[in-house]
Amino acid sequence: MSIKKFIAVLLTTLVLLGSMLLNMSLAAATGGLNYSSAQGDILSATPTPDVTSPEVTQPTVSGELYITIDKPTAVVGDIITATINIKGFDSISGYEANIKYDPTVLQPVYSDGTPYDETSAPESGTLLQRRYNGTDFASNDLANGKLTFGRTYLSITAYKDSGTPDNTGSLARISFKVLKPEKAIILLEDDSRLTNAVTGTMLMDWNGEQLSGYKVTQAPIINIYSPETPTNTPTSPVVIDTPTGAPTSTPVNPPEGKVEMKFDKTEVKVGDFVKATISIDNIQNFAGYQFNIKYDKNYLQPWDTLTNAPYGSNSVPDYGTLIQNRYNGMDLVAHDLENGILNFGRVYLNLAAYIASGKPETSGSVAVITFKVVSGMPQGGLKALSFEAGGKSPYDINGIMLFDWDGELIKSDKYVIVQPEPLIAGRGVLGDVDNNGKVDSDDYAYMRQYLIGKINVFPINPINGLIAADVDGDGNFDSDDYAYMRQLLIGKISKFPAEL
């Protein structure tokens, strides 16, 4: 199987998973399906017996879903934007909506003017944008003026465990190009594909329950007018000088791209957090990636900034600036934490809309991984992190796979790989000469050994060890520092002189 076909099958499968999620959840609520999900990423469904199920009462809430319009009046050719908003809910994990409009008056487009197709999802709002594997799905009937779409978190358990719900803000933004001067209505309307809808909408909370009883406020009517006809003013002809000379040659080969992983700092101590940012530069028509990264788990622990806890097997790194547009970005994760391996990726699913935009992504950051330093760096530093071939795919180039907007693997001769610099031991805690993150009797013992000549270097490294040992701040390590260390340990002082 070619890489293009492989990616196409993978992306199609992921799209179907996203579009089925809300209906599976609703069917479960009404007795049609039972499903379970450890992180919301793996679903298993089993049919229930064909028996009459008791009616399930949906949670009734007092929130409101409402549509706002950026322009109450417009002229032919304008682009107007309708925003779907919510307020007053406890938690929202997903939604689906059905919008009806007159296709002779309005044409759905993106904010840059690109027309919708049958699978185009709206531009994102402020909600459902955190890294709990948000997935868009859409099935539009443009000829009949109907948009049916939604977005949901797949990692719903991790979302709930965060304790920080999405509950107030915007869900989606839909732009329309004005085609003719008539009153326009953008209407939320029930559809047979939406189960137990509330005025053309479905909302789910972070327990996977469909909500009911909330208020729905429709968009105001838009008044559309014909544009004023401009008066033609004659102008003088403009003469353009055509330069002569040899034409400028066009380079045959594209410039070389780059994939780089870089720490925000290289001098670290125990307890520090250090961020590794992965960036690309000059990668043409970039549409997705997968990385396999090896880290030294004796010194580094990947840290989830959302939960403020160590990574789990399905934790997603923080997003960068790329693969964040409206083309249905999907996260892929397969870590092996036991062996110090992070394997993750993110790809656009709606490649057709991405190509149609004519605006490829080429340079920027794609992911940020945070690590907690759990052990002091050895003398001389440590190469603690690197891209590394995982052996799971024949297309894996040094732990890197990049894809373009045609779904093709970008060849490795199109870019260079820049690995992160080694980490070195930072100054650390004053008095902590063995760099274990605390000041104790071991440090006192190392100081004594140094003073009587049994050792000539501290466990940190020669320079930083002497800096940590100089607890009185006079620029030297001597018996006075040793005496202050003893006083701290027996409780006679609470701080070293250098800290006062």
Q: Residues 147-206: pLDDT tens digits?
A: 999 999 998 988 998 999 999 999 999 999 999 998 899 999 999 989 999 999 999 999
Distance from C-alpha of 380 to C-alpha of 37, rounded to nearest angstrom: 46
pLDDT at position 446 over 80: yes
Checking if the pLDDT of 24 tops 70, the result is no
- Tokens linked to 129: 């944008």
> Residue 474 pLDDT > 60, yes or no?
yes
Is residue 28 predicted with pLDDT exceeding 70?
no
Average pLDDT (279-285) is 95
Percent of the chain's residues with pLDDT above 90: 57
Q: What is the CA radius of gyration of the chain?
A: 30
* Nearest Cα to Cα of residue 39 among 209, 208, 163, 154: 154
How far is it, in rounded angstroms, from Cα 448 to Cα 438? 17
Residues 100-153 pLDDT 10s: 999 999 999 998 889 999 999 999 999 999 889 899 999 999 999 999 999 999
Q: What's the pLDDT at 72?
A: 84
Record the tokens describing residue 264, joined without a space. Answer: 């925000």
Q: Which residue did the predictor score with more confidence, 32 or 203?
A: 203
Backbone φ/ψ region at 245: left (φ over 0), alpha (ψ -120 to 50), beta: left
State yes or no: pLDDT of 231 exceeds 90: no
Amino acid at site 271: G
What number is the average pLDDT over the span 424-430?
75
User: What is the pLDDT at residue 200?
Assistant: 96
What is the Cα–Cα distance from 155 to 314, expressed in whole angstroms?
9
Distance CA 390, CA 399 (A): 6
Cα 435 from Cα 376, distance rounded (Å): 5
Q: Measured between alpha carbons, how far is 180 from 247 in angstroms, rounded to an integer?
A: 46
Domains by residue range for the chain, with CATH = 64-225 (2.60.40.680), 257-425 (2.60.40.680), 441-499 (1.10.1330.10)
Q: Whole-prediction pTM value? A: 0.66
Q: Scan for tokens 């530069």, then name that residue.
A: 281
Q: How many residues does the chain have?
A: 500
